[in-house]
Amino acid sequence: MLIIKTFGGFLISQIRQLQGRVFEKMLKESGVDAFNGAQGRILYILWEHKRLTITEISRLTSLAKTSLTSMLDRMEESGLIERTPDKQNRRQIFVSITEKAMNYRDDYDRVSEQMNHLFYQGFTEKEVKDFENALRRIIANLEN
């Protein structure tokens, strides 16, 4: 097996950091300052599913449950989410999106679209598809 020096993990980490800072700035410039980028990931999942358990949110966002709990605390205090116990299993907590958070959806989607344009600037459609397929393969490798 040929051993070559690779930088994929480092580059992905660097992209994540840069993307996070740019996205936060874009949100603020668009007047969306009720939540940060990481909380936006949680809201995005809840916009799509309306009501999820903490375990499901953790799986869908790749956020650790320990990090998620404190983020959800702040989001609940801000009126963005509600937590309710499951009537059948009191240990199970459901997280739901509030009307207040629903009102940010269009602005968030617009900023996300701007971020996508910036992210893939200069790429062909084929390059975008190939890149995203490669990332999905990396995710699958890490999940197995």
Q: Work out whether the CA dihedral 6, 121, 48, 107 comes out positive or negative.
A: positive
Which sequence spans correspond to the domains of the chain?
34-112
Total length of the chain: 144
Q: What is the pLDDT of residue 133?
A: 97
Instruction: Give tens-digit pLDDT for 61-111.
Output: 888 888 899 999 999 999 999 999 988 887 889 999 999 999 999 998 999
Asked if 79 and 98 count as a contact pair (C-beta separation under 8 A), the reply is: yes
Instruction: Give tens-digit pLDDT for 113-131.
Output: 999 999 999 999 999 999 9
pLDDT band at 2 (very low <50, low <70, confident <90, very high): low
In this structure, the number of other CB atoms found within 10 A of the CB of residue 57 comes to 21
Cβ-defined contacts of 45-52 (< 8 Å, 24+): 46/81, 46/95, 46/96, 46/97, 46/101, 47/97, 47/101, 47/102, 47/105, 50/96, 50/97, 51/94, 51/95, 51/96, 51/97, 52/94, 52/95
Could you give the CA distance from residue 41 to residue 59 in angstroms, rounded to a whole number? 12
Asked if 37 and 67 count as a contact pair (C-beta separation under 8 A), the reply is: no
Asked if 27 and 40 count as a contact pair (C-beta separation under 8 A), the reply is: yes
State in words which class domain 34-112 has: mainly alpha
Q: What is the pLDDT of residue 71?
A: 93
Q: What is the pLDDT of residue 87?
A: 87
Asked if 50 and 97 count as a contact pair (C-beta separation under 8 A), the reply is: yes
Q: What is the pLDDT of residue 91?
A: 84
- When the pLDDT of each residue in the chain is averaged and rounded to a whole number, the result is 91
pTM comes to: 0.75
**How much is the average pLDDT of 16-25?**
90
Could you give the CA distance from residue 34 to residue 141 in angstroms, rounded to a whole number? 36
Q: What is the pLDDT of residue 1?
A: 62
